[in-house]
Amino acid sequence: MRAVILHDGKLSVGEVPLPEPGHGQIRLKVTRTGICGSDLHVRLDAEPSADVAAEVGYPDFIRSSHHVVMGHEFTGIVDEYGPGCRRRWKPGQAVVSLPLIKHGDDIHMTGMSQHAPGGYAEYLLVSEAATMPVPNGLDPGLAALTEPLAVAHHAVRRGDVAKDDTAVVIGCGPIGLAVILMLKAAGVRRVVASDFSGPRRELARTCGADIVVDPAVQSPWDVLGDDKRLVTNATALYGAGIGAMDALQRIPGVPWWTVMRLGQRFGAGPRGAAVFECVGVPGVIEDIVTHAPFRSRVVVVGVCMQPDTFRPTMASNKEVDLRFSFCYDPAEFRETLHMVARRRINPRPLITGVVDLDGVPEAFDQLAKADKHAKILVNPHKTP
């Protein structure tokens, strides 16, 4: 079969053996695969990610010396079962799968290891246990977005965002746009989005952002002033506490401390914004910690490949929660698929191009420019 092979930072299209499904595995005929931002990073500098993966217990992550077929955002149709499968679906059934595959007792990251070739190919292998049927009629291009949208779904859940919270999305690349879609699907009424790119700001509006700013012209933090619950300086925070004490002490026979605790349990008092860092560039976390309202929850979704610094004393003084989000669980993956199928979210604006296998190297170059494109899909069986 034909596939796109990465080796030493270079992408080339060539012939590789047709994969044969092993125990508990299914061979899929790939219909669409999304090009992920992490693929762009790994292509040029795989070693830092591989080193971190090895430190956390996965020693088989892609390295520059490996020959790897990438592509972990994919959908396809059932082609052939291996031994030991339950054969839950007929051949031709459209499915998606978690990008993880079992080889015996080992688990590998599909598209991110030479042991688990991914979706930049005509066929790939998946574990039957990790596979889910695509609801009838769902376009394969939208089904292929399940994986990146699931990343955003998990990130939003990590942010503990209430419907009346103010959410701020820093960076409107594919993941930032997906976060906006998921915030609006969760019913969040006020979403502020910020990006230097004009085309991406337009996509943010299309995806449902209520306020979109160009940070070269206006700070995203300046538009939060009309939310009276947000505290932006220390004296206001301290004053709110003393003011509440004074008011409650005027009520005879009522222990002010009990009432204060009860009110806090139901959301009374200062509450920060939910901020999503979707850039992955050194210095962004420090900028957010410095400028975000007090008691904000900052969810870091962007993948920064370099060491970074921020001032812990600033975060401590403002009681900022700094959380990191990486992936998703199987239930979130399935929820995302069905949210798309039921049209609770419309991710179609994210798709800004479709290429065949021969077009993948150029698509990588276009996406690296971070201008007009959001998500380019690969159709491995497309003819020029």
Question: Is residue 70 predicted with pLDDT exceeding 80?
Answer: yes
> 160 near 361, Cβ under 8 Å?
no
180 and 130 co-located in one domain: no
220 and 104 co-located in one domain: no
174 and 297 co-located in one domain: yes
d(CA 379, CA 384): 11
42 and 121 co-located in one domain: yes
Confidence (pLDDT) at 384: 63
73 and 161 co-located in one domain: no
Query: Tell me, what DSSP letter sits at residue 68?
Result: B
Question: Is residue 372 predicted with pLDDT exceeding 90?
Answer: no
Confidence (pLDDT) at 364: 95
CATH number of the domain that residue 237 is part of: 3.40.50.720
**Which residues sit opposite 121 in a β-bridge?**
3
Confidence (pLDDT) at 190: 96
Q: Does some domain include residue 331?
A: no
Q: Does some domain include residue 143?
A: no
73 and 208 co-located in one domain: no
| Structural domain count, the chain | 2
Q: Does some domain include residue 383?
A: no
d(CA 52, CA 38): 14
Angle, alpha carbons 195-204-270 (nearest 5°): 75
Print the domain residue range for 220. 150-324
Last residue of a domain, one of 309, 324, 339: 324
Q: Does some domain include residue 256?
A: yes
> 31 near 65, Cβ under 8 Å?
no
Q: Average pLDDT of 181-190?
A: 97
Q: Does some domain include residue 247?
A: yes
90 and 158 co-located in one domain: no
pLDDT tens digits along 4-31: 999 999 999 999 999 999 999 999 999 9
* Mean predicted lDDT score pLDDT of the chain: 93
Task: Copy the structure tokens of residue 271.
Answer: 């509450």
Confidence (pLDDT) at 282: 96
- Predicted model pTM: 0.93
Q: Does some domain include residue 384?
A: no
Establish how many alpha carbons lie within 13 A of residue 382's alpha carbon, considering only the half-sphere containing its beta carbon: 16
155 and 129 co-located in one domain: no
Q: Does some domain include residue 330?
A: no
318 and 370 co-located in one domain: no
d(CA 249, CA 219): 40
Q: Which of 361, 363, 366, 365 is nearest to 3 (CA)?
A: 361
221 and 288 co-located in one domain: yes
Residue type, 218: Q
Question: Is residue 270 predicted with pLDDT exceeding 80?
Answer: no
Q: pLDDT > 90: what percent of the chain?
A: 81
171 and 96 co-located in one domain: no
81 and 177 co-located in one domain: no
CATH number of the domain that residue 112 is part of: 3.90.180.10
